[in-house]
């Protein structure tokens, strides 16, 4: 599968590029942005439904990373970043290299509601349930067991969970599933 096959339809508007962050992009975006707003995405839910064999695990001991699963009654609170037009092509290239490393995610244009009341189109990386790395449906105990033992090129999987929960809490956002999952892991 190529980047073109997973690219958003229609292509992102680089003159007004917004990026929706729901996991590590919140605490480590890796790109410069002109504006940052709390944002809500309806119709999706944040969950640990993607195995990580690169960043937070290995093929032998896969970890778990967050994804956006389609859910007609779902809602995901996160951050939306607006990118300056001049840097948008480089940011898009960076995001595709980072998020589409194994094409487990699909690049989509979604509508997000910003905290100031605006509704904007934003780029989001959502789960691809047909990909071999997709593992939706694991219960919290199964997720905790995988997260507790995995580590990859970006570090321990448990650190990914802790950084995400801490970042959400700092923003005044609470994800009860992530909090419950964190409570199942040993404190360090």
Annotation says 85 is catalytic:
no
Q: Identify the active-site residue in 84, 85, 97, 99.
A: 99
Q: Is 145 left (phi over 0), alpha (psi -120 to 50) or beta?
A: alpha
Best CA proximity match to 54, nearest among 5, 100, 2, 20: 100
Task: Evaluate whether 141 touches 184 at the Cβ level (below 8 Å).
Answer: yes
Rounded Cα distance between 154 and 37, Å, is 26
Rounded Cα distance between 37 and 114, Å, is 6
Angle between helices 157-170 and 176-183 (to 10 degrees): 140
187 upstream amide cis, omega within 30 of 0: no
Helices and strands, number each (H, E), in the chain: 6, 7
Rounded Cα distance between 151 and 58, Å, is 7
Task: Just list the catalytic residues.
Answer: 99
């Amino acid at each position: 599968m190529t980047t073109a096959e997973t690219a958003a339809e229609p292509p992102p508007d680089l003159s007004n590029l917004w990026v929706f962050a729901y996991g590590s992009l919140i605490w480590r975006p890796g790109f410069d942005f002109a504006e940052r707003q709390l944002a809500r995405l309806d119709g999706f839910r944040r969950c640990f439904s993607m195995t990580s064999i690169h960043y937070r695990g290995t093929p032998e001991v896969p970890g778990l990373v967050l994804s956006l699963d389609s859910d007609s009654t779902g809602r995901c609170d996160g951050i939306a970043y607006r990118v300056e037009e001049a840097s948008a092509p480089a940011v898009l290239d960076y995001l595709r290299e980072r998020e589409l490393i194994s094409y487990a995610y699909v690049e989509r244009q979604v509508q997000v509601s910003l905290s100031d009341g605006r509704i904007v189109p934003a780029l989001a990386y959502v789960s691809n349930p047909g990909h071999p790395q997709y593992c939706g449906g694991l219960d919290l105990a199964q997720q905790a067991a995988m997260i507790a033992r995995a580590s990859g090129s970006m570090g321990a999987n448990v650190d990914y969970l802790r950084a995400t929960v801490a970042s959400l809490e700092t923003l005044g956002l609470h994800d009860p599933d992530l909090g419950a999952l964190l409570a199942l892991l040993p404190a360090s």
